[in-house]
Chain A
Amino acid sequence: MNLRFLLALMIAANVATAIGVVYARHQHRQLFVELTKLERARDELNVDFGRLQLEQATWAESNRVEQVARARVGMKFPEADEIVVIRP
C-alpha cells in the first residue's frame, strides 16, 4: 500500500516536472524571441545613431564650415589691428 502510494506519487511528480520542463522551454523560446526583437531594435537605433553622427560630422567638416563661413556668410578672420585687447 505504502509502496503503491509512493509509486503514484513518483509518477505524478514525473508528469508534473515534465510539464514544467515543457513550460520552461516554451517560456525560454518566447523570451528569446522577445530578446532578439529588442536587440534588433537596439541595433537599429545604434545604427541610426551612427548614421546621424556620421551625417553631423560630414556637415561639420572643417573644410565645409570654412567655405560656408567665408563664401555664404561672408565671415573673415579679424586682422591683428581689429582685435581689441582688454586688460584683465
Chain B
Amino acid sequence: MKFRDRYKPGPGKHDPGKPDHGKPDYSRLDRAKSERPRVSRARFNLRGRLMLVTGALGLCSLALIVRAVDLQLIDNEFYRQQGNERFLRDIEIPTTRGMITDRNGEPLAVSSPVESVWANPQELSKNPARLPELAKALGVPADYLKRKVSQRAGKEFMWLKRRINPAVARGIMAHNIPGVFSQREFRRFYPQGEAVAHVLGFTNIDDYGQEGVELAFDDWLRGKPGSKRVIRDRRGRIVENVDLLRAAQPGKDLTLTIDRRIQYLAYRELKTALLKSGATSGSAVVLDVATGEVLAMANLPSFNPNAVTGDNRDAHRNRAVTDLIEPGSTMKPLTVAAALEAGVIKPQTLFNTNPGWIANGRYRTTDHHNYGVLDTTGVITKSSNVGAAKIAAMLPDQTFYDFLRKFGYGSSTGSGFPGEAAGLFPAPSSPGWSGTTKQTMSYGYGLSATPLQIAHAYATIGNGGRAIPPTFVKGQSNPSRQILDPVIAHQVLKMMQTVTEPGGTATQAAILGYHVAGKTGTARKASAGGYSRRYVAFFAGMVPVDNPRFSMTVVINDPDPSLGYFGGLVSAPVFHNVMEGALRLMDVPPDDIETWLAAQAEAEAKRAAANPKPIVAAMPPPVLTSGAAQ
C-alpha cells in the first residue's frame, strides 16, 4: 500500500500553474487527456509489469550469455581463426629439384640457388632520394629506374633483377634501402652444355621439366615444397616459428646410363663429321649391348640448355628418337637373318646379281656396280640391293614382316623418352603394302625407323638374339626376350664383320686390335614424287665381334653430295673415332691382338729402316697406352 501511495499523483505536483488567459490553453487540454490513463495505470497491476520488464531484461542478458558461451565455448573457431589470421602465416619452404648425374655420378644437371631482388614501388617512391643509390647498385641508369618506379607507383610488387648471383644480391641488400627485398629461387645448370642437351632437355622458369629426361622424370626429380606456420609482426617480419605443417621433400636424384666421356666423344666426332661433309643434321646413338643402356646419344644441331630461347625450336628435338628415316642398307643384315631363320638360305648360298639390276614392279632395283655372283656374306660385304631383293623374294610376306616387327621396327622401343616415334612399317594386309613393298624393304626403303631403333636391332644381333629394350636410367632392368637363335645371330655378326675388312664398304670403321661388325647405308631422301638426289648416310655396327659390348648407329642427314655422301665415307669415321675411344674408356680387351701386333711389328720395322736410333726414346709414356694395350 505504501508503494502505491507514493506514486499516487498528488494534486500539488500536478498543478498546471497559472493559466494564461490570453490564449486558449491547449496544453492544459492535452494534459487533462493524458492524466486519465496515468491514473488508470497506477491502478493497474504494477507487479505484473515489473515482472515483465525484469523478465525481458533477464532474457536479454541470457541471450548475451548464450551468445558469449556460443562464441567462446561452442563455436569458438570463427573468431579464433579471425584472430590468427591477423598474425599467423603459413609460408612455403622452397625445395630443390633433384640432380641428374651420368652413370659415374658426374653431375649433368644441378639446381643451384640464385637470388631474385624485388621491390615494393609504393615504399620505394617514398624515398626518392635513395633511388640513384639503388640504380647504381643494380647497375641500371638512374632515370630508367626512376621511370620504372613511377610507372608502377600504385603497385606493391616489381622485379628489380631476377636470378642473379647470391653474392651480388647480398651487395644490393647491403644498402638497406626500404622496400627492397630479395627472394631465393632455384635455377637449373647444365655443366655439360650442348653435348647432352637433347637427352636432358630443360626446365621452364617455374622449374617444371619441358623436354627430355627432365620431362619424363619430372615427378621423380621435382621436390614437394613444405609449409610452416609462423607469427609475423605488423611489418611482416617473422617473429616466431610456430609449427611445421609439412616438411619439404627435396627432389630425388636421377642417375642416367649416359657416360659423359663417350657422350662428349660422340658429340665432338659428329660435329667434326658434319662440318666436313656439309650435312645439315646428324645423330649418334651408343647402346650397351648386354644391358640395353643408352651410353651416349648425341644430336646436331644442338642448343645451349643454360640459356634456352623460344626460337630455334628445331634444334631442341632429340632426333635420335623422334626423327624417322628410311634405314637403307642397314636393313640388309636383318633380311639375311630373317632368311636364315626361315631356313630358305645358308651362309654359302650363291646369288647371281647379274646384270646389277632386277625388276621390281614397274621399277628397278639396282646396284652401284655389277657384283656378279655373290654368296650370302658377299651380299652384305658389298651391300648388294639385288642380292637382298633375291633373298627377300624367297620369304613369304608375313614371315618377313613378323621378323622385322620382332626386331622392333614399327613400334616404340619402350625407352620412355618423351616424343619417341614408333616408325612407319606397313603390315602385309594394310593398304601401305603393295606388290613391290617387300623387295624395297629388303634393302631399307618403304619403311622408316629412328636411329635408336636401328641401334636396338643391331644390339639384339650383337647380344646373341636377345632383345633388351633400351633404357636411360641406370639400375632399371627391362625384361629381355630371346627373338633370334644365337647361332644365326653369330653367323650374321660374322658376315657383318667383313664389311669393315678389306673389300668391304666401310674399311674406315675398322679399329686396330678389334674386330668390328657393321653395315653402311646410303639412303636417298624421299621427296615429293619420288627420291631426290639428297642422301642420308648411315653406319651401324657392334664391337668387338667376340662378345660385343657396344652397338652404335651414326646417321648423317643431307651431306653435301659434292663432298661425298656414302655411309662408309661420311658416317663410318665417326663410328671409328667414337668406338675407339669408348673401347679404351671402358677397358674392353682387344679381340684381335694378332693384327695389332703385326701392325706394330710393321711400324717398328719401318721406323728401324728409316731411323736406326732405338725406338724406345720416341715412345710416349706407357701409362697413356696401358689401358688399351691390356
Contact between A32 and B261, CB atoms less than 8 A apart: no
Chain B residue nearest in CB terms to A65: B264
Q: Which residues, 523 to 555 on B, are CB-close (under 8 Å) to A?
A: none
Once the chains bind, are A50 and B243 in contact (CB under 8 Å)?
Answer: no
Contact of B619 among A82, A87, A88 (CB under 8 A): A82
A53 and chain B: residue at smallest CB distance:
B107
The count of residues in chain A whose C-beta lies closer than 8 Å to any C-beta of chain B is 29
State which of B37-45, B201-209, B620-628 sits at the interface with chain A: B620-628
Partner of A62, one of B99, B110, B195, B597: B195
Whether B629 pairs with A81 at a CB distance below 8 angstroms is no
**Any chain A CB within 8 A of the CB of B193?**
yes
Beta-carbon contact of B240 and A29 below 8 Å: yes
With a CB–CB cut-off of 8 A, which chain B residues contact A47?
A: 96, 112-113
Q: Does B600 contact A (CB under 8 A)?
A: yes
**A85-B513 contact, Cβ under 8 Å, with A32-B244, A50-B96:** yes
B110 and A50 contacting across the interface, CB-CB below 8 Å: yes
Contacts of A58 in B (CB 8 A): 191
Question: B607 to A81, Cβ gap below 8 A?
Answer: yes
Nearest CB in chain A to that of B102: its residue: A57
Q: Does B603 contact A (CB under 8 A)?
A: yes
Task: Give the Cβ gap from A56 to chain B, nearest Cβ, in Å.
Answer: 8
CB-nearest residue of chain A relative to B191?
Answer: A57
Q: How many A-B residue pairs have CB under 8 A?
A: 94
Distance in angstroms between the alpha carbons of A61 and B268 in the assembled complex: 13
Is B192 touching A84 in the complex (CB atoms < 8 A)? no
Is B195's CB under 8 angstroms from A83's CB? no
Query: Nearest Cβ in chain A — how far from B196, in angstroms?
Result: 10
Q: B603 near A81 (CB under 8 angstroms)?
A: yes
Known contacts being A33-B241, A47-B112, A82-B620, is A60 close to B106, with CB within 8 Å?
Answer: yes
Residues of B195-243 contacting chain A, CB below 8 A: 195, 228, 240-243
Complex interface: chain B residues within 8 A of A46 (CB):
96, 250
Chain B: CB-nearest residue to A76: B620
Q: Which of A61, A82, A84, A85 gathers the greatest number of chain B CB atoms within 10 Å?
A: A85
Q: List CB contacts (< 8 Å) of B569-618 with chain A.
A: 593, 596-597, 599-600, 603-604, 606-607, 618
- Chain B nearest CB: distance from A72 CB in Å? 17
- A27-71 vs B, Cβ < 8 Å mask (1 yes, 0 no): 001001101100000000011001101101110111100100000
Task: Decide if B620 touches A50 in the complex (CB within 8 Å).
Answer: no
Answer yes or no: A80 CB below 8 A from chain B CBs.
Answer: yes
User: CB distance B99 to A83 under 8 Å?
Assistant: no
In the complex, chain B residues 83-122 whose Cβ is within 8 Å of any chain A Cβ: 96, 99, 106-108, 110-113
Of the candidates B107, B264, B512, B620, the one whose C-beta lies within 8 Å of that of A80 is B512
Q: When chains A and B are docked, how far (Å) is the Cα of A61 from the Cα of B604?
A: 37
Q: Compute how far the CA of A58 lies from the CA of B604 in the bound complex, rounded to whole angstroms.
A: 41
User: SS class of chain B's interface: helix, strand, loop or mixed?
Assistant: mixed
Known: A33-B241, A58-B191. A85 touches B593 (CB 8 A): yes
Q: Is B603 in contact with A32, judged by CB distance below 8 angstroms?
A: no
- Asked if A85 contacts B112 (CB within 8 A), the reply is no
Cβ–Cβ contact A50 & B111, under 8 A: yes
Per-position contact with B for A5-24: 1 when CB-CB < 8 Å, else 0? 00000000000000000000
In the bound complex, CA of A57 to CA of B242 (Å): 40
Contact assessment for B597 and A87 in the assembled complex, using a CB-CB cutoff below 8 Å: yes
Q: Which B residues are in CB contact (< 8 Å) with A35?
A: 244
Cβ contact within 8 Å between A54 and B112: yes
A33, A50, A57, A81: the one contacting B106 at CB < 8 Å is: A57
The CA-CA distance from A61 to B600 in the complex, in Å, is: 34
Is B264 in contact with A62, judged by CB distance below 8 angstroms? yes
The yes or no answer to B630 lying at the interface (CB within 8 A) is yes
Q: How far is the CB of A58 from chain B (nearest CB, A)?
A: 5
Q: Is the CB of B189 closer than 8 A to any CB of chain A?
A: yes
Residue A74 is within 8 A (CB to CB) of chain B in the complex: no
- Which residues of chain B are within 8 angstroms of A85 by Cβ–Cβ distance? 513, 593, 596-597, 600, 629
Per the bound structure, the CA–CA distance linking A82 and B618 in Å amounts to 8
Structural contact, A54 and B242, CB atoms closer than 8 A:
no
Ordered by A's residue number, 24 sampled pairs between the chains whose C-beta atoms are within 8 Å are A32-B241, A33-B241, A36-B228, A47-B112, A50-B96, A51-B112, A54-B107, A57-B108, A57-B191, A58-B191, A61-B191, A62-B261, A62-B268, A63-B264, A63-B268, A81-B606, A81-B607, A82-B620, A82-B625, A84-B619, A84-B622, A84-B629, A85-B593, A88-B630
The 7 closest A-B pairs by CB, nearest first: A81-B603, A57-B191, A62-B264, A83-B625, A54-B110, A57-B107, A58-B191
Question: Using a CB–CB distance below 8 Å, which chain B residues touch chain A?
Answer: 96, 99, 106-108, 110-113, 189, 191-193, 195, 228, 240-244, 250, 260-261, 264, 268, 512-513, 593, 596-597, 599-600, 603-604, 606-607, 618-620, 622, 624-626, 628-630
